[in-house]
Structure 1
Amino acid sequence: MSRQDEVISGEIAIGCGETKNLEPMAKVMAAFQQVYGDVHFTLYTGIADDVKERIEQGTLDFGLLIEPVDVSRYRCLRMPWKDHWSVLLRQDHPLAAKEAIEPQDLAGQRLIMPARLSVLTQVEAWLGRWQDEICTAAFMNLSVYNKEVLTQNGLGLALGLDFNFTLPGLCLRPMKPAIENGSYMVWKNNQFLSPLLERFIEFTEAYLREHYGAQGGE
């Protein structure tokens, strides 16, 4: 059977964290389905460690992983956008008057911190010597909405990625110096790939290059 005669159908399972790069990935998925109408997607949301484990177990075909993350064991495509960190706080909080939040501004504040260890380490490095001056109100995994509800109800200020939308009464302020994270689409190295998965990788790489000028595989 020639490559042109291959039937491209079935399921593609993708695991991802909460990242702005889901938007270009969603455009890829929609464009792929326009060409291959018998393909459907399953999307699983989880932190990078969880997604990587499921890729190793074979329950996910691809992962959309946010830095900091070790992708040395995978084939990967770099996604086009960077996610930027911000402080989520109530509009009536005194720090809302600032254009950007610096580590020393958070001394004495109650913070909602990331639970993923590699990300927490990144945030603690940003806080520097001021990390001993903050109070951790909660550790959180994922869910932008849940984080906003906790902040809205006064649990603390939340450190996390900026998605440019908030619940009423809240605002986002960039962190200074800035923290930004890239993302990768990854899949297992040295594994057999079905015609469906091979075609999706080729399609994704071509689409990102055409529409975003994204780098190729690594």
Structure 2
Amino acid sequence: MDVPVFLAQRPLVRNELEGWFGEYYDQIHVAGTYNLINNVAVMVENKIGVAFCFQLQNRFDNLKYIPLSPEVETGAVIVWKKAQTMNRTMRQFINFMREYQEKERHTL
């Protein structure tokens, strides 16, 4: 409770965390919000506070990731311009995501 906390700026994510904290949410010290984890990671590295985020896959070797318990799951979105000309890599990624979504939909 005494450690400043940085939360994602997206309302959906913040609402999920507020629900996870429950009655303790009003007691935490929210030092700020962020859109890009790279920016807030610098503050965490400098011991200004902690950040609630997705696991960062060894991106910041000197930071420690501690999963929440009970686990919190939230949705994510991928957005691109409808009329944008896409390179091959981007098209493949979007197709991969669509196929994955379809596969997940059929396993439910």
TM bucket (normalised to shorter chain) is: 0.5 to 0.7
Which position in structure 1 is the counterpart of 2:25? 131
RMSD over aligned Cα, in angstroms?
3.4
Which sections of structure 2, spanning at least 5 residues, go unmatched? Answer: none
Larger Rg: 1
Which position in structure 2 is the counterpart of 1:177? 70
What is the CA–CA distance in structure 2 between the aligned matches of 1:134 and 1:155, rounded to whole Å? 15
> Is the 8 Å Cα contact of residues 5 and 51 (structure 2) preserved in structure 1?
yes
- The alignment-based identity, stated in percent, is 22
Q: Kindly provide the amino acid, as one letter, of the partner of residue 95 in structure 2.
A: T
List structure 1 runs of 4+ shifted beyond 2 angstroms.
Answer: 166-169, 181-187, 205-209, 212-216
Q: Of the two structures, which has the highest relative contact order with CA contacts closer than 8 Å and spacing of 6 or more?
A: 1
Q: CA deviation at 1:204?
A: 1.6
Q: CA deviation at 1:207?
A: 7.5
Which position in structure 2 is the counterpart of 1:118? 12
What is the CA–CA distance in structure 2 between the aligned matches of 1:179 and 1:158, rounded to whole Å? 15
Q: CA deviation at 1:169?
A: 2.9
Q: Kindly provide the amino acid, as one letter, of the partner of residue 115 in structure 1.
A: Q
What is the CA–CA distance in structure 1 between the aligned matches of 2:17 and 2:97, rounded to whole Å? 34
Q: CA deviation at 1:118?
A: 2.2
Which position in structure 2 is the counterpart of 1:148? 41
Which of the numbers 138, 152, 162 marks the counterpart of 2:55? Answer: 162
Which of the numbers 94, 99, 103 marks the counterpart of 1:208? Answer: 99
Which sections of structure 1, spanning at least 5 residues, go unmatched? Answer: 1-106, 188-192
What is the CA–CA distance in structure 2 between the aligned matches of 1:206 and 1:162, rounded to whole Å? 20
- 1:2-40 CA-partner distances (Å, limit 9, x unpaired): xxxxxxxxxxxxxxxxxxxxxxxxxxxxxxxxxxxxxxx
Question: How many matched pairs?
Answer: 98
Which position in structure 2 is the counterpart of 1:109? 3
Normalised by the length of structure 1, the TM-score is 0.37
Local SS of the residue matching 1:180: coil
Larger strand percent: 1
What is the CA–CA distance in structure 1 between the aligned matches of 2:68 and 2:17, rounded to whole Å? 10
